[in-house]
């Protein structure tokens, strides 16, 4: 039987918090060539419910038969007004408590965690949410352990994710738990995702951080570097690519990014290596893929950067 996935939506909900994960669950049926999940959007009043993007989607009323008996219950996030209104709705709170108690999995996407926390459903749990509200969540609900870096966190039956697109990563992890890594990987390919991101991956990537900080010419260079990790990324080669002298390039790049070119290149390569650790590639193959030449060099740099050897990191974050 298809597993029922119920999303709680409400006026002002974040559209991608629902449609992103829902697309993952829907695509599972395509990959498996049979219905794997029955996706239902529920809202306090039912009918059309407006998102923060101005797009309304059809929903079932909480009291309807379709909204009951969820295998997985997920609460979408919203900006402060939408959250305040749904948190003040006593009937919605009662419904959530009942459904969370009976669901095999329950949780939230982005700021939806505030709704569950306000009901006392998360006390003592480790949770994730959008980086911009981590401090507020921890201060308001001190019984929680808020992981400000993780893309998503699975703590028993509870699943919580960081901002918006990380809901897709969390949904893929759920599909992997239900149907195995091959199915999750196939869905990621169907959805044309750049990469499957493990939950422990930081909400911030070196690439995105430095593209935000750097001047436009260096942002383009950084994007190129990210996709050419095996290339010669030494100062002479990079300076030539930018048509600058080596001395000028070194100074301007360091000023723009806050790191020397060598430090930045190593950060890019190590972040890429860490993302590959959840797969089956050998350390030698990973080192070659990210331009670190040898497993020994990868091990030394990885241990220095992340405080543990690659082998230990793999054991700690092994899938399944």
Task: Express each pLDDT in 171-181 by its tens digit.
Answer: 998 998 999 88
Q: Note the pLDDT of residue 195.
A: 53
Q: Which domains does the chain have, with CATH numbers?
A: 3-190 (3.40.50.880), 206-316 (1.10.10.60)
- Between 55 and 217, residue with greater pLDDT: 55
Residue 102 has pLDDT above 80, yes or no: yes
pLDDT at res. 144:
93
Q: pTM higher than 0.85, yes or no?
A: no
Q: What is the pLDDT of residue 210?
A: 53
Percent of the chain with pLDDT strictly greater than 70: 91
Taking residues 57-73, report their average pLDDT. Answer: 93
Task: Say whether pLDDT at 268 is over 70.
Answer: yes
How confident is residue 204, by pLDDT bands cut at 50, 70 and 90? very low
Q: What percent of the chain has pLDDT over 90?
A: 62
Q: What pLDDT score was predicted for residue 317?
A: 61
The 3-state secondary structure of the chain, one letter per residue: CCEEEEEECCCCECHHHHHHHHHHHHHHHHHHCCCCEEEEEEECCCEEEEECCCCEEEEEECCCHHHCCCCEEEECCECHHHHHHHHCCHHHHHHHHHHHHHCCEEEECHHHHHHHHHCCCCCCCEECCCHHHHHHHHHHCCCCEECCCECEEEECCEEEECCCCHHHHHHHHHHHHHHCHHHHHHHHHHCCCCCCCCCCCECCCHHHHHHHHCCHHHHHHHHHHHCCCCCCCCHHHHHHHCCCCHHHHHHHHHHHHCCCHHHHHHHHHHHHHHHHCCCCCCHHHHHHHHCCCCHHHHHHHHHHHHCCCHHHHHHHCCCC
Q: Does the structure show a pLDDT above 80 at 313?
A: no
144 or 197: whose pLDDT is higher?
A: 144
Q: What is the chain's mean pLDDT, rounded?
A: 88
Is the pLDDT confidence value at 53 over 50?
yes
pLDDT over 70 (residue 138): yes
């Amino acid at each position: 039987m298809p597993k029922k996935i119920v999303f709680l939506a409400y006026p002002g909900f974040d559209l991608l918090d629902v449609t992103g994960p829902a697309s993952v669950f829907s695509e599972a049926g395509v990959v498996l060539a049979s219905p794997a999940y029955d996706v239902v959007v529920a809202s306090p009043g039912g009918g059309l419910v407006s998102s923060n993007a101005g797009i309304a989607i059809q929903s079932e009323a909480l009291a309807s038969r379709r909204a009951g008996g969820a295998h997985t219950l997920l609460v979408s996030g919203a900006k402060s007004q939408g959250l305040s209104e749904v948190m003040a709705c006593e009937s919605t709170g009662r419904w959530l408590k009942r459904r969370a108690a009976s669901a095999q999995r329950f949780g939230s996407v982005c700021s939806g965690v505030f709704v569950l926390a306000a009901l006392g459903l998360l006390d003592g749990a480790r949770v994730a949410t959008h980086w911009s509200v981590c401090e507020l969540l921890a201060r308001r609900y001190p019984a929680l352990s808020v992981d400000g870096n993780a893309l998503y966190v699975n703590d028993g039956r509870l699943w919580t994710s960081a901002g918006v697109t990380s809901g897709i990563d969390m949904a893929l992890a759920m599909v992997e738990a239900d149907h195995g890594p091959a199915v999750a990987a196939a869905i990621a390919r169907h959805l044309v995702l750049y990469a499957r991101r493990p939950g422990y991956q930081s909400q911030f990537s070196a690439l995105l951080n430095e593209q935000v900080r750097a001047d436009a010419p260096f942002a383009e260079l950084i994007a190129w570097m990210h996709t050419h990790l095996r290339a010669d990324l030494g100062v002479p080669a990079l300076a030539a690519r930018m048509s600058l002298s080596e001395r000028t390039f070194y100074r301007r790049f360091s000023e723009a990014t806050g790191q020397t070119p060598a430090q930045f290149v190593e950060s890019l390569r190590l972040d890429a290596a860490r993302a590959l650790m959840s797969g089956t590639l050998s350390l030698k193959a990973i080192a070659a893929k990210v331009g670190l030449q040898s497993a020994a060099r990868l091990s030394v740099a990885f241990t220095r950067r992340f405080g543990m050897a690659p082998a230990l990191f793999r054991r700690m974050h092994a899938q399944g």
